[in-house]
Amino acid sequence: MDIREYIKDRILYLDGGMGTMLQERGLQPGELPERWNVLHPDIIIDVHKAYYDAGSNVVSTNTFGANSLKFSDEELESYIRAAVENVRKAASLSEGTQEKFVALDIGPIGKLLKPYGDYDFEDAVSVYAKTVRIGASCGVDLIFIETMNDSYDTKAAVLAAKENSDLPVFVSNAYSEDGKLMTGATPSAMVAMLEGLGVDAVGANCSLGPAQLKGVVDGYLENASVPVLLKPNAGLPRTENGKTVFDVFPEEFSDLMAEYVKDGVRIAGGCCGTTPEYIAATVSKTRTVTPVPVVPKNKTVISSYTHTVEFGKSPILIGERINPTGKKKFKEALREHDIEHILSVGIAQQDRGAHVLDVNVGIPEIDEPALLTEVVYELQAIIDLPLQIDTTDVVAMERALRRYNGKAMINSVNGKEDVMNEIFPLVKKYGGLVVCLTLDEEGIPDTAERRIEIARKIIARAEEYGIARKDLIFDTLAMTVSADDKAALATLDALDYIRHELGCNTSLGVSNVSFGLPQREIITSSFFLMAMTRGLSAAIMNPNSNEMMKVYYSFKTLMGIDESCGDYIANIDKFAVSTLTAPSASGTASGASGASAAPAADDGLSELQRAIVKGMKEQAAKITAELLKDTDPLEIVSEQIIPALDIVGKGFEAKTMYLPQLLMSAEASQFAFEQIKKKVAESGTSGQSKGKFVIATVKGDIHDIGKNIVKLILENYGFDVIDLGRDVPPETVVDAVVAHHAPLCGLSALMTTTVPAMEETIKLLRKEAPWCKVCVGGAVLTQEYADMIGADFYGKDAMATVRYAVSAVDN
Amino acid sequence: MSSFNIDVRQYDASGLPSIDVKEVWRYSGCRSIPEDQPSLDLMDSMLKEYGSIARPRVCFARCDRMPFETDSKGLARVISGSDEVIVFAATVGIEFDRVINRFKKVAPSKALILQALGAERVEALCDLFCSEFEGRTSRYSPGYGDLPLTTQRDVFALLQCESKIGISLNESLLMTPSKSVTAIFGIRHGDVNKDGASGVRGHNCAECGLLECEFRDGSENRDSSPASDVSPNSEPSPNGGD
């Protein structure tokens, strides 16, 4: 019988601990348990048989660590084959009459994946794939991926299982006491991702005893639409006289398990410290329990690697700013591969309260699949919000979805047959909440009725692909009201119907509605409010707009979904001020705030200089903007900003100012520079660069705070810094120096173990780019060391490097 | 792989010894506490950030002898006469790295303070963990004194840090999460519980290889690069030229 059939109306029993059982039977410390499949099949069969005798339906192969990182291909093959054979034998030897299944057991490969670790996601998929292929060829009944403590690693294993077999896949994660995975995912986030990937059962094992897993189990039962499994430890392990002992015994364990089964757990077993006795007790106490039916939860959710965002309750804000449309600066950033700029746009939106970020990097002249994947990856390294992947390039969509850590929002599909045929298979494979635009081959219908018709068609086609209605979110297309008086009404009528009659969530890119009108934010935000009252679940919008945020917080408060008006009050400072500008600003006296270049107070500093020296960013920006009204930008730089930076630099060198203060000043001057750049761009003259400076943390080293400090201050001093990041191979440094013909290059290393990589980089630079001066820095370096590896300059701190760079280009 | 059982302890971030703000400033490269308002605001904002991101955890093995071989005389001296040896790894969790990396993009000064705070917190975690053992000696870390950093490989093989508490070691022997420490100490049964002559954290400047360290005992302010002092295997505070 197919195990998926079997669990439909029955409780399924798994086995208990393996490692602890083998240790009792003489497995030596350091010995790999998988070898015992071949060395001591009798013992292994014995343990397996004991579990079948105790009533387990599923016994897992002794292959927890069987992967190509630990074993050669031949070993791997022979251990897995033997492992499957051992379980089969145990099944036939056991006199238990229950239905018996063999699970291929897969544990984590023990590598932390990028961006945190240094192991590549696709490499992990390949390692898991090898194990899956061998196991599948042995004819196991299911794949059991267990004890996974990272969501990304879990995804790699599931993809490998799905791509290399048609077997049922059960996935079990190991939670910490705070109810999260090691890398932060909650049970609901795991459910969202794993159901999206199409696994057949989800749950938790190991780490904790049954009692401590209560919150985790509840999290699963509330969210999962597939059967929930639970395989706890026999309580918490502790060491007693050099032996590991557990504090929960079969009686208590099975009592707790019986409670969980009554609550809805459908698949029960044990992990570390549990024995056949635990399983037998659990079976006997739950045999007569009527299984709680597994019902679809119909929650519309997406997830990041930490949490879920649910649609259909409070409106969801999807930040629209990572998008080149109509944004000159952003387009330039894409062309120049300025990932930092893209990231800062993302961070700003999160700070403003966005729940989800839309990611669109489509401009004609770039390799969109590569860039989109990279941006998604980089965003996920620092921002824990779920992302909406926004592209019309199907290749880019697939690559980004594959690499995405969680369940993404997919933007978009529409009523065109060919588009549905391209997008729905991706949704099916990787999971996701897909935005459905109500247009088709005939374009965007004028009427609400036709848009609803298209929605029905999309729902039906999605169903054919096995995609549930809850994973569709409809965009009824906000059209420009200045072009058609009835445009907004058609959009809203269709939206209302789809939300309330078809029961699907809805989303709108609200900004379009006001195109061509003056003071667009007034119309856009009003439309946003109207749409929310008609049932809008999510808006793709600009979170930087105070007008939009006013409407959002007001709506929540007035609809009774903002408890005690808490969010409204807590965020009032963020949106209370109007972002609207008066229609004609000329002739007003707003510039008379008294900003001047003249010294004030008695420290001899101008206002701007004081703001920079004290590290006050907003002040610095404001004063600069004022000054720019009647002062030449370059004069502000040379007469005010640079002298202020010099004051700070000297203070730092004299140790009257410290590193945090140096940095805050640098940040403040950056704010001032932003204003100046804006002005210069308006007037069309280009800024002057002191020259190019390539900077990198060397291969093997991931420390970059110091490198970033140097970069920041170099930029303040007018250098055009090409930042290659961290862990940069020598060839990449050389390529950049050659491509830019950079006169200067800075290398950073913090570990003694990575200084050789620095030396190697310098050698290669000497050969390929002999014109380039190389400065080095980092905690382990000294002047002697720098001389030894052939650097031109040793920068003991950021200011030293900057002074050297200035003198090098001035000569 | 281990012949010893690995225990895991999880701590509540609020249960750690209180934050030594002066120490955080020091790790950020300040010899004294700045008094200006922007600096104080900066620190306040990072202290607020801390509570929600720390997930302190320790895994350790309690051994009746040194569980792996080492030639370190410094370590031998510290644990001499011990009845047991404890090898442990401590971390405040991966979220620190994420938030630090986030601040690096938008506010490097915040990144600087937060990484310093992480370094201070993981040391505080080590202090708390060690204080739970009667008769302990001071502690000694790979990469410190004459105990080579390559000892990290032995420690990781023994403790299975990846699966136990989520610390991984890369090829350059760097740990992720970066705010992690590994160390070794001894237990002398029946010893009155006091720490070694060089203090709880087991640092003795005379033994330390970081000759340029401005915090070195007896060396006055040689340059402006603060370097890691107590646990050279955790991420040291950066200096300007890192």
Task: Determine the average pLDDT of the residues in A729-746.
Answer: 95
pLDDT bin (cut points 50, 70, 90) of residue B209 is low
- Residues in chain A closer than 8 A to B24 (CB atoms): none
CB contact under 8 A, B95 and A184: yes
Does residue A637 share a domain with residue A530?
no
pLDDT for A65-89, tens place per residue?
Answer: 999 999 999 999 999 999 999 999 9
| pLDDT tens per residue, range A413-454 | 999 999 999 999 999 999 999 999 999 999 999 999 999 999
Residue written as tokens 């913090």?
A: A750
Kindly state whether residue A657 falls inside one of the protein's structural domains.
yes
| For helices A368-382 and A339-351, angle between their N-to-C axes, nearest 10 degrees | 50
Instruction: Enter the pTM of the model.
Output: 0.86
B interface test, pick of A750, A783, A792 with most B CB neighbours within 10 Å: A750
A241 vs A638, higher pLDDT: A638
If asked whether residues A536 and A387 sit together in one domain, one would say yes
pLDDT tens column, A309-327: 999 999 999 999 999 988 8
- Please write the tens of the pLDDT for every residue from A243-290: 778 899 999 999 999 999 999 999 999 999 999 999 999 999 999 999
Asked, for residue A354, whether it belongs to a domain, the answer is: yes
Are A712 and A668 found together in one domain?
no
Which of B96, B150, B172 to substitute to test the interface with A, most A CBs within 10 Å? B172
To the nearest whole Å, the CA of A687 is away from the closest chain B CA by 23
CATH topology of domain B6-207: NADH Oxidase (3.40.109)
Whether residues A664 and A715 fall in one domain: no
Domain-embedded: residue A585: no
Question: From B224, which residue of chain A is nearest by alpha-carbon distance?
Answer: A797
Average pLDDT over every residue of A754-760? 89
Instruction: Specify if A601 maps to a domain.
Output: no
- Closest of B107, B9, B110 to residue B53, by C-alpha: B110
A748/B241 CB distance under 8 A: yes
Interchain CB distance below 8 Å, B112 and A705: yes
Neighbours of A432 (CB within 10 A): 26
Cβ distance A3 to A168 under 8 Å?
yes
Q: How many CB atoms lie within 10 A of CB A283?
A: 20
Residues of A in contact with B29 (CB under 8 A): 658-660
Would you state the pLDDT for residue A362? 92
Strand pairing category for B84-91 and B180-187: antiparallel
Q: Is the domain of A339 the same as that of A191?
A: no
User: Residue A508: inside a domain, yes or no?
Assistant: yes
- Helix H or strand E segment including A356: strand A356-359
pLDDT of residue B51: 77
One domain, residues A673 and A701: no
User: Nearest CA to A692 among A729, A666, A718, A730?
Assistant: A718
CATH number at residue A408: 3.20.20.20
Contact (CB<8Å) A706/B4: no
Please check whether residue A187 lies inside any domain of the structure: yes
Contact: B172, A655; criterion CB under 8 Å: no
Partners of residue B223 in chain A, C-beta under 8 Å: 796-797
> Residue A631 — left, alpha, or beta (φ > 0 → left; ψ -120 to 50 → alpha)?
beta
- The answer as to whether A133 is a domain residue is yes
* Amino acid at site B56: P
- End position of a domain, from candidates A230, A260, A286: A286
Question: Which of the pair, A47 or A799, is modelled with greater confidence?
Answer: A47
Domain endpoint, select from A682, A701, A734: A682
Identify which of A115, A11, A94, A27 has the alpha carbon closest to the alpha carbon of residue A64: A27
Confidence of residue A717 (pLDDT cuts 50, 70, 90): confident
Question: Among B98, B105, B111, whose Cβ lies nearest the Cβ of A344?
Answer: B105
Q: Which residues of chain A does B55 touch, with a Cβ-Cβ cutoff of 8 Å?
A: 176, 178
Amino acid B206: pLDDT:
67
Cβ within 8 Å, pair B170-A118 = yes
Quick one: A178 and A47 in the same domain?
A: yes
- Verify that A567 and A675 share a domain, yes or no: no
Q: What dihedral do alpha carbons A37, A39, A41, A44 form, nearest 10°?
A: -60
Confidence of residue A712 (pLDDT cuts 50, 70, 90): confident
Give me the residue from A118, A659, A700 closest to B28, CB to CB. A659
Q: Is A590 within a domain?
A: no
Domain CATH code at residue A657: 1.10.1240.10
Find the range with the poorest average confidence among A298-302, A401-405, B59-63. Answer: B59-63
Average pLDDT over residues A208-218: 96
Domain range for A638 is 607-682
State the pLDDT at residue A583: 54
Q: For residues B168 and B162, is the Cβ–Cβ distance under 8 A?
A: yes
Confidence of residue B217 (pLDDT cuts 50, 70, 90): low
pLDDT in tens, A504-513: 999 999 999 9
Going through A419-529 in order, the beta strands assigned E by DSSP cover 433-437, 472-475, 505-509
Q: Looking at the structure, do residues A612 and A475 belong to the same domain, yes or no?
A: no
Query: Would you say the C-alpha torsion A110, A113, A118, A119 has a positive or negative sign?
Result: positive
Return the number of other C-beta atoms located less than 10 Å from residue A595's C-beta. 23
Q: Is-contact B143 B191, C-beta < 8 A?
A: no
Lowest mean pLDDT across A113-122, A694-703, A784-793, B187-196:
B187-196
**Cβ(A432)–Cβ(A465) under 8 Å?**
no
What's the number of domains chain A is made of? 4
Residue identified by tokens 């080095």 is: A776
Give residue for tokens 């110091």. A706
| pLDDT confidence band for B197 (50 / 70 / 90) | very low
Report the pLDDT value the prediction gives residue A574, as an integer from 0 to 100: 85
Tell whether A306 and A272 lie within a shared domain: no
Nearest to A795 among B95, B106, B241 (CB): B241
